[in-house]
């Protein structure tokens, strides 16, 4: 582990991918290797790119000075058929890493070391995350770059990893879209805001409070500046109209002294043009002072209320696959304007329950699941690999207005350049936005969302929170982000697995 603080210095950093706008422009930054730094920013702003620059994997303008040995999550596993212990050691070159060191870290993490003797490919997503983190932190003299370690972790797993990171004596840079998780593990923030890097002290909540205060001040300044600009533009237009009237008076007065009126009109026009130029400069200066505030753009929902009050009921429902019952019997009801969160560890059967409700469960269902006849459901799936082709084809296939689809995707932060990319070639975040936009645009009386926040940044999470709080649509959802659950759920239903070995 790192015992001495080491500085990381960035000077005049400028970077752009070929043919694209710069991600960073003349950025300067100093931070320390003993910080627990949360790297924040909207998707596509360059968080992963900055980590690659720190590692020297991309060419850039400027200088990055560091003597640190970077250890990166996620690791590259070259042979997933190998035993996990061997696969991890092979993924960390130039390190004399012993398996007992990984076992030590697994003990601190609270994970059974027997996982090291299983083929890596048999591990769940959550287990892979945990063993990789244990292998990384088993290294000596390393500084850690952790890119989205909360992916594939359920709520209990996120708490487990947060406790583990809080015990570390070494610093790291971490990206995550889970606000509660970040609050527990970071002490500094580095935010990528439109080509610039903004450094702050404190956790995510401290950053968010400071950002809200900055935004309120900036919005007040903008309102004042816009009022001044409007008044200046009105004055400019008024002066030009006065001069034009004087010119028209000269032309229309055939009996007056043309020389006198002409000289007077010319003098007024010259003065007016001079004044208009000064006003133009003042307007330009005021516009240059306008602050760049990224406001949360509101989303819309094609919600069609149903005439019945109760939309879903589960009476002692259990699911069985290959003779194995997934969870304890469940009894609950979803009414109009209620939002129910299904909570429980990975493997408990939450997604299977959603498939049973939507008629896609391949196993056996016991108890009673009741849905009103003809109820229209809008579904956000975890797996949306069937979304392919162009956005225009996708809109036609799902009977969506094409212009409204594009407009909603823009509100969700998708760049226009992505509109011509086939859906299957888009990034995972862009594909998720297409799936979400389909759900929001589809006329529906009930919404069922299975992990809607996967691949979405905190800005999108704010958009969804505001949307749900405004419409209060009937919603059944699965999510592992505790902040989101606490913010929107009117009820939480615990899905308790009968076999703890199923928890991943």
Q: Read off the pLDDT of residues 141-197 as tens digits, 9 standing for 90 and up.
A: 889 999 999 988 999 999 999 999 998 888 999 999 999 999 999 999 999 877 678
Q: Residues 264-272: what's their mean pLDDT?
A: 66
CA-based nearest residue to 224, from 287, 312, 145: 287
pLDDT for 383 equals 87
With 70 as the cut, is the pLDDT of residue 82 above it?
yes
Bond prior to 364 in cis (omega within 30° of 0): no
Residue 240 predicted with pLDDT over 60: yes
pLDDT given for residue 249 in this prediction: 63
Residue 48 near residue 121, CB atoms below 8 Å: no
pLDDT at residue 252 in the model: 59
Which carries the bigger pLDDT value, residue 251 or residue 393?
393
Looking at residue 250, its pLDDT comes to 59
Residue 5: pLDDT band (50, 70, 90) is confident
Tokens (6 digits) for 33: 């290797």
Tally: H helices and E strands in the chain: 14, 18
Element holding 352 (H helix, E strand): helix 350-357
Provide the 10 A C-beta neighbour count for residue 195.
17
What per-residue confidence (pLDDT) applies to 279?
64
% of the chain residues with pLDDT over 70: 88
Task: Give pLDDT, residue 346.
Answer: 86
pLDDT(100) > 80: yes
- Given a contact cutoff of 8 angstroms between Cβ atoms, the answer to whether 23 and 46 are in contact is yes
Decide if pLDDT at 371 tops 50. yes
- Exposure string for 303-341, b = 16+ CB within 10 A, e = fewer: beebeeeebbbbeebbbeeeeebbbeebebebebebbbb
DSSP category for residue 501: G
**Average pLDDT of span 214-218:** 77
The stretch 270-290 carries a mean pLDDT of 68
Q: What are the tens digits of pLDDT across the range 376-435?
A: 999 999 889 899 999 999 999 999 999 999 999 999 989 888 999 999 999 888 999 999
- The count of C-alpha atoms lying within 13 angstroms of the C-alpha of 102, restricted to the half-sphere facing its C-beta, is 26
pLDDT value of position 404: 97
Decide: 22 and 14 in contact? Cβ < 8 Å: yes
pLDDT in tens, 431-490: 999 999 999 999 999 999 999 998 898 889 999 999 999 999 999 999 999 999 999 999
104: which residues sit within 8 A by CB, 6+ positions away? Answer: 138
Provide the pLDDT confidence category of residue 45 given band limits of 50, 70 and 90: confident
Is the confidence at residue 255, as pLDDT, over 60? no
User: In this predicted model, which residue has the larger pLDDT, 30 or 290?
Assistant: 30
**Helix (H), strand (E) at residue 25:** strand 24-32
pLDDT at 175: 94
- Can you say whether the dihedral through the CA atoms of 147, 148, 152, 154 is positive or negative? positive
Give the C-alpha separation, 90 to 482, whole Å: 35
| pLDDT averaged over every residue in the chain | 87
Helix, coil or strand: residue 139 = coil
Residue length of the chain = 504
Residue 4 pLDDT > 80, yes or no?
A: no
Helices 125-137 and 99-109, axial angle in degrees (round to 10): 120
The pLDDT of residue 254:
54
Q: How far is the C-alpha of 392 from the C-alpha of 371, rounded, in Å? A: 33
Residues 6+ apart with CB under 8 A from 110: 160, 163, 164
Diameter of the chain by CA atoms? 108
Rounded Cα distance, 143 and 147, in Å: 13
Separation CA 327–CA 318 (nearest Å) = 6
Kindly tell me if the per-residue pLDDT of 501 is higher than 50: no
Mean pLDDT value across residues 206-221:
80
440: nearest Cα among 413, 414, 407: 407
Backbone angles phi, psi at 183, to 5 degrees: -60, -30
pLDDT at 251 over 80: no
In this predicted structure, the answer to whether residue 222 has a pLDDT above a threshold of 90 is no
The answer to whether the Cα torsion of 373, 379, 385, 387 is positive or negative is: positive
Report pLDDT for 173. 96
* pLDDT number for residue 406: 97
Average pLDDT in the 364-381 region? 93
> Which residues, including other chains, have CB under 8 Å from residue 448's CB and lie 6 or more apart?
354, 357, 358, 377, 378, 379, 380, 475, 476, 477
Q: How many CA atoms lie within 13 A of 202 on its CB side?
A: 10
pLDDT band at 277; cut points 50, 70, 90: confident
Which residue do the tokens 């609950």 mark? Answer: 332
The reported pLDDT for the residue numbered 198 is 85
Q: According to the model, what pLDDT value does residue 20 have?
A: 83
pLDDT band at 499 (very low <50, low <70, confident <90, very high): low
Summarize pLDDT for 168-183 with one digit per residue, the tens. Answer: 888 999 999 999 999 9
Look up residue 311 and give its DSSP letter.
Answer: E
DSSP string, 165-232: HHT-SS-EEEE-S-HHHHHHH-SEEEEEETTEEEEEES-HHHHHHHHHHHHHHHHHHHHHHHHHHHHH
């Amino acid at each position: 582990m790192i015992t001495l603080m080491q500085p990381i210095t960035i000077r005049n950093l400028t970077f752009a991918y070929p043919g694209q706008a710069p991600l960073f422009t003349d950025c300067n930054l100093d931070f320390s290797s003993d910080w627990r730094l949360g790297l924040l920013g909207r998707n596509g702003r360059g968080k992963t790119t900055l980590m690659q620059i720190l590692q020297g994997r991309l060419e850039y303008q400027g200088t990055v000075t560091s003597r640190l040995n970077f250890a990166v999550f996620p690791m590259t596993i070259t042979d997933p058929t190998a035993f996990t212990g061997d696969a991890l050691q092979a993924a960390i070159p130039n390190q004399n890493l012993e398996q007992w060191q990984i076992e030590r870290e697994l003990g601190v993490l609270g994970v059974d070391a027997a996982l090291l003797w299983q083929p890596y490919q048999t591990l769940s997503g959550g287990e892979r995350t945990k063993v990789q983190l244990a292998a990384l932190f088993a290294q000596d003299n390393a500084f850690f770059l952790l890119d989205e370690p909360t992916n594939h972790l359920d709520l209990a797993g996120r708490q487990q990893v947060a406790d583990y990171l809080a015990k570390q004596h070494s610093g790291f840079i971490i990206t995550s879209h889970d606000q509660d998780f970040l609050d527990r593990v970071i002490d500094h923030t580095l935010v990528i805001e439109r080509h610039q890097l903004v450094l702050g002290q404190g956790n995510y909540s401290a950053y968010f409070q400071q950002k809200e205060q900055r935004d309120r001040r900036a919005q007040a300044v903008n309102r004042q500046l816009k009022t001044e600009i409007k008044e200046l533009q009105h004055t400019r237009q008024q002066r030009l109209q006065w001069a034009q009237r004087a010119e028209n008076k000269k032309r229309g007065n055939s009996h007056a002294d043309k020389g006198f009126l002409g000289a007077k009109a010319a003098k007024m026009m010259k003065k007016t043009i001079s004044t208009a130029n000064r006003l133009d400069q003042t307007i330009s200066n005021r516009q240059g002072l306008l602050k760049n505030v990224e406001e949360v753009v509101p989303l819309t929902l094609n919600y069609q209320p149903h005439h019945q009050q109760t939309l879903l009921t589960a009476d002692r429902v259990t699911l069985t696959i290959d003779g194995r019952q997934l969870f304890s019997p469940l009894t609950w009801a979803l009414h109009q304007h209620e939002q129910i969160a299904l909570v429980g560890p990975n493997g408990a059967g939450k997604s299977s329950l959603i498939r049973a409700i939507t008629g896609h469960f391949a196993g056996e269902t016991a108890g009673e699941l009741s849905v009103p006849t003809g109820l229209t459901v809008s579904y956000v799936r975890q797996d949306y690999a069937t979304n392919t082709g162009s956005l225009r084809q996708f809109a036609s296939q799902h009977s969506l207005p094409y212009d409204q689809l594009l407009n909603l995707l823009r509100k969700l932060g998708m760049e226009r350049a992505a509109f011509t990319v086939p859906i299957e070639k888009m990034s995972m975040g862009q594909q998720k936005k297409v799936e979400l936009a389909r759900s929001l645009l589809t006329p529906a009386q009930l919404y069922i969302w299975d992990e809607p926040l996967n691949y979405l940044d905190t800005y999108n999470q704010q958009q969804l929170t505001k949307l749900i709080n405004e419409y209060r649509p009937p919603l059944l959802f699965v999510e592992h982000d505790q902040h989101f659950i606490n913010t929107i759920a009117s009820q939480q239903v615990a899905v308790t697995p009968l076999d703890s070995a199923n928890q991943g």
